[in-house]
Structure 1
Amino acid sequence: MNAASALRVLIVTHVVRDNDGQGRVNYEIARALLAAGHHVTIVSSMVAPELLAHPRVRHVPIRESRLPSRLLQYQMFAIKSAVWIRAHRREFDIVHVNGFITWTRADVNAVHFVHDGWYRCGFYPFRLADGWYGAYQVIYTRLNAWCERWAFRRSRVVVPVSHKVGEEVRALGIEPGSLRVIHNGVDACQFSPGASERDRFGLPGEPFMLLFAGDLRVSRKNLDAVLRALASTPAHVHLAVAGILRNSPYPALARELGVADRVHFLDLVKDMPALMRSVDAFVFPSRYEAMSLVMLEALAAGLPVITVATAGGSEVIDSRCGVVLESPEDVEGLASAVERVARDRDYAREMGRAARELAKTLTWQAMAERYLALYEEIARSDAARRAQVAAPAMSARS
């Protein structure tokens, strides 16, 4: 690409790196921009070193605030970043933000979570009367919901990461014409089928092994439903659980339900590709999710996926590669789906092959190309508008 056609893109987010959900999306967009010959400026608190080393990357650091709460820390980032962006806005063709992250207008706003959707989904667990922690969570959620609505209305194009998120954005009064759904991606090479390494993770070799991965300290991911469903399945079905165990109530619940000998709590697992190669299916009945990266990773690893409609990303799954239940509270349905997959390993393997083929269409490259096409569309529209404005002036001078 020649210098005249290269775009100058500003990305605003807290973190840009390959081991963070939202950060990974922005990391892949930045890499694709650079590969296409564009210039990237990143306003953030942290950027992966390999991006910083690139000659066409400029980093504007916003130090992490030491104020006492995420609510105040994020507001400080929003204020500081807005001051810088307003002073430098003319330097960029595209300003790309992520939800509410800064007090300024944007060309593209990628939506990875909708606080209003989480608050109204029917499974929000906090109340103002639940003590200081519950009250703080409600205030945090409602203030962020208001800020997100402000940010969406001041963005030219809003990009939900799933159709589920798109519906939540539309519920805020955002015009459908300004929405472009772009699903998150997955590294189909890193997450791929391969030899099992159960011994490495201390897992028994014979049982049909389910995998659950997520935050084990909150109810939103819904491990409780998985454990209750497991109690209704045959003894040859086991569950591996990946996630930080500290302060988790779920080991006690497994003992209470009488399934502790079939549940293998692995704590934090750093090599998720190897773990996914070592199990037979992935189960993820999250009560609220925007677009789960771990679900896409399970598909890429060739695992049948058992999930629910409230988990964003479930919209890409069909009966060939998984099971999508309507309600995250349908424990009986969850147990039935698990038993069906575990009963017939040939059926499970066939689903896994279909999952793998689906994941190949949802790569990071495919995602990034859609963002770049959107940037170029906006830039062409701006160029055409400038030319239209300039034409009468040229005619008057001639």
Structure 2
Amino acid sequence: MRILIVTHVVRKNDGQGRVNYEIVQGALAAGHSVTLLAAEAAPELLDHPRVRFARIAPSRLPGRLLQYQCFAWRCGAWIRAHRDEFDIVHVNGFIAWARADVNAAHFVHHGWYHCGFYPFRLLRGFYHAYQVLYTLLNIGCEKWAFRRAEVIVPVSRKVAAEVAALGIDTQRMQVIYNGVDVGEFAPGPAERARFGLPAQPFMLLFAGDLRMPRKNLDTVLHALAAAPANVHLAVAGRLHHSPYPALARSLGLAERVHFTDMVMDMPALMRSVDAFVFPSRYEAMSLVLLEALSAGLPVITVRTAGGAEVIDAGSGIVLDDPDDARALTAAIVRLASDPGYAGRLGASARRAAATLSWQVMAERYLALYEQVHARRRASAWPARARASVEQQ
């Protein structure tokens, strides 16, 4: 097949970009050719003889709103000019003013806006007003894009429900979970000293954007304050402008919370801790949660995190309310006080992750491409036959 993938970036160190990177790798391994319509792509992909890179330069207009719209217009124009060159056009959410065969829904602004934890208010100042308008515009654009795709691929059942709330028929959806590198993220020897972590305590790990209240580190810190003193927390994420070191000090946790800043070797950090805590207030399908499962860590998360749906009672603890610090404390204490229970959860988590590898994910996308392509050829055959008869 001749496949066109439209996205902003295709590279390994980006969430959505990594998903598309692995789809490209799977497509190339299967013998297909791939064109990338993007602003940036990993150099190792561009060296492949069956990869074509059509670069859409980022706009210099002020603000994400205008920049994304400019990118979408340029992508739409390119697709319309080259549509006949491809068997499959795969886009990601609203990224182009053009129809598509497959639209992967990684994040739905309508779901974020109505989830109950949306932090912005129209009348709370210019920044808030801009964010609200940006979200509302994206809601309209995403609805337009989903209605003009043959198949929508939500990355979780949670996202599928959010797409359906836009009035999109569920019969046009096929959920495909994101993947994880089960070889890279695997249990192994701890390296706590490398990350400045003490050797003895039961060590939790929180990883995410430390500037966003959506990730919910504040509830984790309040829960930790009520947990026994032998429970510590490693926090991985960029510290610049983060309010959480000050909050940790105010809660008397300065000696028990270890801020590592950005960590480039996340597999090694995950091998060095005892459990992963991720009570995000809103999440579509987090890669870091899947990585923790693959690393064999018992996971504490919440239902508002899309990845929670791949966790059962045997592979993790899923709480109902992301802001319930008392319930989170109880879950932490249960893991820290029962090594056998924590070990069983971790082993089950590793087995669950084996069904969510990048290879499995890519194969599911390619199978979907084949189905869509086969339907198009079948529908085109009667038209070609009629044209042949008319010519005779």
- Regarding TM over 0.5, the answer is yes
Matched, 1:167 2:151: no
Q: 1:353 is matched by which residue type in structure 2?
A: A
Q: 2:60 is matched by which residue type in structure 1?
A: R
CA distance in 1, matches of 2:128, 2:63: 14
Q: Secondary structure at the match of 1:220?
A: helix
Deviates more, 1:296-305 or 1:255-264: 255-264
CA distance in 2, matches of 1:67, 1:342: 51
> How far 1:350 moved relative to its partner?
1.3
CA distance in 2, matches of 1:130, 1:392: 62
Q: 1:261 pairs with 255, 258, 261, which one?
A: 255
Per-residue deviation, residues 179-216 of structure 1 (Å, max 9, x unmatched): 00000000000000000000000000000000000000
- Partner in structure 1 of residue 193 of structure 2: 199
CA distance in 2, matches of 1:135, 1:106: 32
Q: Secondary structure at the match of 2:89?
A: strand
- Partner in structure 2 of residue 293 of structure 1: 287
> Identity of counterpart residues, as a percentage?
66
Matched, 1:211 2:205: yes
Unaligned runs of 5+ in 1: 1-6
> How far 1:138 moved relative to its partner?
0.8
- Partner in structure 2 of residue 284 of structure 1: 278
Q: 1:155 is matched by which residue type in structure 2?
A: A
- Partner in structure 2 of residue 29 of structure 1: 23
Q: 2:338 pairs with 330, 341, 344, which one?
A: 344
How many residues are treated as equivalent by the alignment? 392
Q: 2:112 pairs with 118, 130, 134, which one?
A: 118
Per-residue deviation, residues 61-107 of structure 1 (Å, max 9, x unmatched): 01111211111111111011111110010111100000000101000
CA distance in 1, matches of 2:156, 2:67: 27
CA distance in 2, matches of 1:71, 1:329: 31
Q: 2:114 is matched by which residue type in structure 1?
A: R
Deviates more, 1:251-260 or 1:176-185: 251-260
Q: 1:104 pairs with 89, 98, 102, which one?
A: 98
CA distance in 2, matches of 1:33, 1:200: 38
> How far 1:392 moved relative to its partner?
3.4
Aligned-pair RMSD on alpha carbons?
0.9
Unaligned runs of 5+ in 2: none
Q: 1:254 is matched by which residue type in structure 2?
A: A
Q: TM-score, normalised by structure 2?
A: 0.99
Q: 1:77 pairs with 44, 50, 71, which one?
A: 71
> How far 1:219 moved relative to its partner?
0.3
Within-5 A mapping of 1:34-73: 34-73=28-67
- Partner in structure 2 of residue 226 of structure 1: 220
Deviates more, 1:128-137 or 1:40-49: 128-137
Q: Secondary structure at the match of 1:260?
A: coil
Q: 1:249 is matched by which residue type in structure 2?
A: P
- Partner in structure 2 of residue 325 of structure 1: 319
CA distance in 2, matches of 1:60, 1:364: 25
Q: Secondary structure at the match of 2:235?
A: strand
Q: 1:52 is matched by which residue type in structure 2?
A: L
> How far 1:258 moved relative to its partner?
1.4
Matched, 1:314 2:308: yes
> How far 1:169 moved relative to its partner?
0.3
